[in-house]
Amino acid sequence: MALSFAGVAYLVWAVTAGVSRSVVQGLIHHLAANGRTLQETAKALEIVFVQAGVVIDLLGMAWLAGSLFLVIWSSRQRCSISWAWVSAIGQAIVAALGAVLVGWAAYQPLIEAPGRIVQASPTLTKVSAISLPVVVVIAVVLWVVVLAWLLVERARFNRRGPTLRDGLRTNLFR
């Protein structure tokens, strides 16, 4: 199952990288047709997703290779299968955060100039404008807490096995 999820996580990475590259290129072409350029805050994304896109592609492939190595290594009883899951889920999370950054860059040209009078937004609209970053942080914290809890439970269940501290020492600092 971890092997399958490593492939799905790479698929998420690849699709996100391709769509992000296409969105940034489309945004650049659209702005150029209107005689505008990307704002300074979004220029870094042009460098990352368009000019250095091959680095993102290679990084995704290397991350997949690392996840697959962890699956193979855990099949040899060298480490817990949880590390392969953590790697694959981390890849999917990083891809999702990249998509959020590209969405933010695509939104930048639509920001109104300061000083312009804008109608008051309903309260729900204001809450929705800030909810995604808050929910993503809560989701990541929840995921980490559940992962730590499962590792502690595994150590308690297997009395002869390593504790959480032993597992981290042998798997991370070997």
pLDDT tens, position by position, 117-167: 556 667 776 776 676 567 667 766 776 777 777 677 777 766 665 556 665
Domain boundary among 112, 134, 149: 112
Does 77 share its domain with 19? yes
Whether the CB-CB separation of 136 and 100 falls below 8 Å is answered with yes
Give the tokens for residue 130: 């800030």
The structural domain count of the chain equals: 2
Rounded CA separation 119/80 (Å): 55
Same structural domain, 75 and 108: yes
Residue range 74-116, pLDDT digits in tens:
877 878 888 888 999 999 999 989 888 888 777 766 655 555 5
> Please, are residues 33 and 116 in contact by the beta-carbon 8 Å criterion?
no
* CA dihedral for 99, 34, 55, 10, sign (positive or negative): positive
Which of 112, 141, 165 marks a domain boundary?
A: 112
What pLDDT is stored for residue 122 in this prediction? 74
| Statement: residue 18 has pLDDT above 60 | yes
Q: Tell me if 118 is assigned to some domain.
A: no
> Can you give the length of the chain in residues?
174
Q: Which among 52, 85, 93, 49 has a CA at the least distance from the CA of 66?
A: 85
How many Cβ atoms are within 10 Å of 54's Cβ, its own excluded?
8
* pTM confidence score: 0.60
Domain contains 56: yes
Are 72 and 25 in the same domain?
yes
Same domain, 104 and 140: no
In a domain, 169, yes or no: yes
Each residue's pLDDT tens digit, 33-79 = 877 776 766 777 777 777 778 888 889 889 989 988 888 888 778 78
Which residues constitute the domain of residue 56? 1-112
User: Which residues, other chains included, contact 27 with Cβ-Cβ below 8 Å and sequence gap of 6+?
Assistant: 38, 105, 106, 109
Both 41 and 96 in one domain: the answer is: yes
**pLDDT value, residue 41:** 61
Indicate the burial class of 4 (C-beta count within 10 angstroms; 0-12, 13-18, 19 or more).
Answer: exposed
Higher pLDDT, 95 or 29: 95
Q: By the 8 A CB rule, do 153 and 166 touch?
A: no
Per-residue pLDDT, averaged over 28-34, amounts to 79
Q: 108 and 142 share a domain? A: no
Residues 108 and 132 placed together within one structural domain of the fold? no
Q: Are residues 97 and 160 in the same domain?
A: no
Contacts of 20 (CB under 8 A, 6+ apart): 49, 98, 99, 102
